[in-house]
Structure 1
Amino acid sequence: MRELNLPVTGATVNVLSTAGPEGADGPVFVLVHGIGMSHRYLTRLHGELAQAGEVHSVDLPGFGRSPKPRDGVTIEQYAEYLGELLPMLSPGPVVLVGHSMGAQFVTETAVRHPTLVAHLVLIGAVTDPTRSSVLRQGLDLGRDTLKEPLDGSRIVLADYLRCGPRWYLATLRPMLAYRTDLRLREVLAPTLVIRGKDDPVSRHDWGVHLAAQAPRGRLLELPGRHLVQFSAATATAAAIRAHVHTPPAPIGEHAATGAAAT
């Protein structure tokens, strides 16, 4: 991994990068983890996508190996971190992939920095406002963890312990409050919503709703649960690679929205 310092915010981000196939002019994929997590539970998906293009998996400030930021925790602030980071990883727009709370980070980034995102992918996206209490989220996550692959659950537990309860709770509040569905209405990039068919955290009705909110959205359900990118990495990567062939938003649309967002 390499440590990158963001020049404007001063935050530090650790990034695991893999070059794509030699001689291939493929897409650039950037993978963003969820609450309490790091790049580690994205490594299977990372490896699968590296067969098609360059891949970067990040540890955002406060998670994994990256130190906690000075500016606290908001979804908007994390979108600004990504807005600084993406041009450091790729000269052109990327395929931006977020899991769980990471889906919120990448959605907000696509709204604020539309010229940096060619395609958007949300995996196990949160938070359904009808299930946004701490109790419901805790119960859903507990039910999921009991039936996830053991090696995936071990990574989750280790990362949660590294994150610590205080920082986890600090990030939980903005996660529960953020309206992913409403912000998706402002996204220009073609959006693929992926969920595991048996995911109790990101449920079917919520997935249908999210895909309908994105102007260019669609839903794909794969066998699996909340960690579908881990348990079904090959199928998830195949869906993302297919999604890349969806034509991106016209340059004029990007420019107009970028000016409005600024």
Structure 2
Amino acid sequence: MMSRTLPLSNKRIAHYFEQGTGEPLVLIHGVGMQALAWYPQIDDLSAEFRVISVDMPGHGESTALDTDAGLPQFVDWAIEFIETLDAGPVNLAGHSMGSLIAAGVAVTRPDLVKRVAVLNGVYRRTAEARHAVLQRAAELRSGTIDVETPLKRWFNADEAQRLAAQKVESWLKSVDLAGYATAYTAFASGDEVFADGWHTIACPALVLTGSDDPNSTPKMAKQMAGAARDGRAVVISDERHMVNLTAPEEVNRALRAWLHTEPQTETLKSEV
């Protein structure tokens, strides 16, 4: 796995890991994580694809955005990253906050996206759920970081999940607090920013979550997939928010099927 940096505008850099050759697959992680949070997908899918897993701004080794950056600014960053890579159109997959970014790119710059995958994404939260994430965002901005609560929400006590939970704990404890707070605030207020654009997404769209994820619910996944022109919802039983780490075989199987889905041509769409 090669560690690389890409110069962006305003003297910023994007850090990413790259492995494999073939069609490019760009992976964007969730808030508080880093590029290595996709390690089961990097290891497996790089046998067939050029896997590029990038640190979100303010995470890992990527330069942070301004502290008042919202979801549109994170989407603009992803667009610049893909354009600067000069590898488009790419297959673009995001997890949690990364899925909001991926969907935003697919809505605003469809020319850069061959296929889009949304893992454990949020879509039109309830008022109660929105209040909870906005409250957590405020706590982070005040300098308070709670690692134990998300770990209990994301993982169960099974021995099989312990290794993944330990990795996630180490990433949360090492994240830059200011970068984390900026991204989490954008995440907390970003579930409706591009929601109305889902019906314009024409490329193959995979929307995947765990049946037991209370925040990125199966209902949300089905709504997103149903809104897209070529969407497919996958719900993995007995899994929670970090499904790409706790059920890697099922997730990789779904991703591979998505990656082998042929995008519809304009002619075919007009004939349907």
TM-score norm. by structure 1 comes to 0.84
Alpha-carbon distance, 1:51 to partner: 1.7
Residues 181 and 213, structure 1, Cα contact 8 Å, conserved in 2: no
Residue of structure 1 in register with 2:142 after alignment: none
Divergent runs of 4+, >4 A: 135-140
C-alpha distance in 2, partners of 1:169/1:145? 19
Residues 1:135 and 1:10: Cα distance change in structure 2 (over 3 Å): closer
Alpha-carbon distance, 1:140 to partner: 8.4
User: Is structure 2 residue 154 aligned with structure 1 residue 158?
Assistant: no
C-alpha distance in 2, partners of 1:205/1:140? 24
Residue of structure 1 in register with 2:6 after alignment: 4
Name the SS of the counterpart of 2:240 in structure 1: coil
Of 77, 90, 93, the residue aligned with 1:94 is 90
Which amino acid is the alignment partner of residue 182 of structure 2? A
Name the SS of the counterpart of 1:129 in structure 2: coil
Alpha-carbon distance, 1:90 to partner: 4.9
Contiguous gaps of at least 5 residues in structure 1: 21-25, 254-262
User: Is structure 2 residue 135 aligned with structure 1 residue 133?
Assistant: no
User: Is structure 2 residue 145 aligned with structure 1 residue 113?
Assistant: no
Task: State how many pairs are aligned.
Answer: 247
Counterpart mapping for 1:99-248 below 5 A = 99-130=95-126, 131-134=129-132, 141=150, 143-147=152-156, 149-178=161-190, 179=192, 180-223=194-237, 224-248=239-263
C-alpha distance in 2, partners of 1:91/1:245? 18
Name the SS of the counterpart of 1:132 in structure 2: helix
C-alpha distance in 2, partners of 1:28/1:110? 15
Name the SS of the counterpart of 1:68 in structure 2: coil
Percent identical pairs in the alignment equals 26
Q: Deviations over 1:124-172 (max 9, x none)?
A: 0025411222269969845423417222222222222222444333322
Which amino acid is the alignment partner of residue 14 of structure 1? H
C-alpha distance in 2, partners of 1:215/1:133? 31
Contiguous gaps of at least 5 residues in structure 2: 137-147
Residues 1:39 and 1:45: Cα distance change in structure 2 (over 3 Å): same
Alpha-carbon distance, 1:86 to partner: 1.4
Alpha-carbon distance, 1:240 to partner: 1.3
Residues 1:159 and 1:72: Cα distance change in structure 2 (over 3 Å): farther
